[in-house]
Structure 1
Amino acid sequence: MLKTFIGRVISGKGQGERFVDLPWVKEECKRLLGFTPYPGTLNLLISHEEKAFLLRLAKEQGVILKPPEGSPYCKALLLRASVEGFSGALVFPEDIVWEYRDKDVVEFVAPVKLRKELGLSDNCMCRLEIVDAT
């Protein structure tokens, strides 16, 4: 069943960009998702209930992004999704170490820079879609 959410675009602090640009992250995303992500994430503010639902779904249906042995980075769950028709994945770090730990924000990776492709700026509203196989 297709589930649709509406999120508001917000800026980050560049942490997603640095993470997604790591060679092992690019390689694992290519292997697990079939694409090399653009170095950056699209941050979407959604409701608390929606984020809880998506995190539960990621635990049930997502794939695990594992860092190399001895890496200082944590694992993350990747959940296939799309934003305004562009395929990609939501990223949920295992450890709550990122800036949005207390906010209802999800981070989305895609093979292209969505802000540019969709002409997005902060406070724009976007359609996020996922397939719920449960």
Structure 2
Amino acid sequence: MYRTESLKKLALLGAIEKPVKISSSEFTRYTSTSSKTAARVLKQLEEEQYIERQLVAGGQMVQLREKGVDLLKNEYAEYRNIFCRDRNDIDLYGNVITGLGEGQYYISRDGYMSQFRDKLGFIPYPGTLNVRLDSVSAEMREKITLIKPIVVHGFSDGERSFGGGKCYLIEIEGIRGAVVIPDRTHYPADLLEIIAPVKLREMLRINDGDKVKIVVRDPQRCE
């Protein structure tokens, strides 16, 4: 609990966008703790890699790291699930491109397939459709992370380990599927990997360069 509350206070001070200067005694105004406890909390957040911290004259420069931002996003998603009930879909547009050819190998692993079946409600075609978003949609892509994800856990097949990831339910030209975002990925932010229960290229008769519409489904919405 102390992590989320402390990170939230730092974020409200602007520590997501840039480093902010704060002393331990100043931080007590936001955490209702002693100066000694506030200093210990900041040090622990740094050790756990939620924040970056640099000691300076009169205090410290603090900024949230990606891990800290992700923790707040997860907290936000959980509150949305509690208080929001209307649909808020995200429309994205992009062009079909050729991927690196790795999708079929990874998607077809039993450790993934069983989770897709149980959590997404379908068995995906063993391959992914790769879509490069246009500039406007690429900027909107960050909104996906505000939706509570369907988590796919990593596993080992006895020979090698496979990482986990997050899935978000979508429709692409009327066909249901999911965007898959691996925890460790080398793909740029404007590229989406999509799985579906059918081979999308054949079903939609699309080729490289064709434009498609992707509707990310969010069953939770706050007005």
TM-score by length of 1: 0.87
Match of 2:167 among 74, 78, 89: 78
Match of 1:49 among 136, 139, 145: 139
Structure 1 residue 131: Cα displacement: 2.4
Match of 1:118 among 192, 201, 204: 204
Tell me, yes or no, if structure 1 residue 61 matches structure 2 residue 153: no
**Partner residue, 1:104:** 190
**Partner residue, 1:92:** 181
Q: CA–CA distance in 2 between the matches of 1:131 and 1:111?
A: 17
SS at match of 1:12: coil
Name the amino acid aligned to 1:52.
Answer: E
Q: Which has the higher contact order (CA 8 A, sep 6+)?
A: 1
Q: CA RMSD in A?
A: 1.6
1:51, 1:105 within 8 Å by CA — same for their partners in 2? Answer: no
Match of 1:128 among 190, 197, 214: 214
2:95, 2:210 within 8 Å by CA — same for their partners in 1? Answer: yes
Structure 1 residue 103: Cα displacement: 5.0
**Partner residue, 2:94:** 7
Q: CA–CA distance in 1 between the matches of 2:195 and 2:106?
A: 11
**Partner residue, 2:51:** none
Q: CA–CA distance in 1 between the matches of 2:217 and 2:120?
A: 15
Structure 1 residue 53: Cα displacement: 2.2
1:30, 1:36 within 8 Å by CA — same for their partners in 2? Answer: yes
Structure 1 residue 68: Cα displacement: 2.2
SS at match of 1:53: helix
TM-score by length of 2: 0.54
Structure 1 residue 7: Cα displacement: 1.3
Q: CA–CA distance in 1 between the matches of 2:200 and 2:114?
A: 20
2:155, 2:163 within 8 Å by CA — same for their partners in 1? Answer: no
Q: Percentage identity across aligned positions?
A: 30
Structure 1 residue 67: Cα displacement: 2.1
Bigger proportion of residues as helix:
2
Name the amino acid aligned to 2:184.
Answer: D
Tell me, yes or no, if structure 1 residue 28 matches structure 2 residue 115: yes
Bigger-Rg structure (1/2): 2
Aligned length: 128
Structure 1 residue runs without a partner (length 5+): none
Bigger proportion of residues as strand:
1
Structure 1 residue 74: Cα displacement: 1.2
SS at match of 1:61: coil
Q: CA–CA distance in 2 between the matches of 1:24 and 1:73?
A: 9
Mean alpha-carbon deviation: is it higher for 42-51 or for 12-21?
42-51
Q: CA–CA distance in 1 between the matches of 2:139 and 2:191?
A: 11
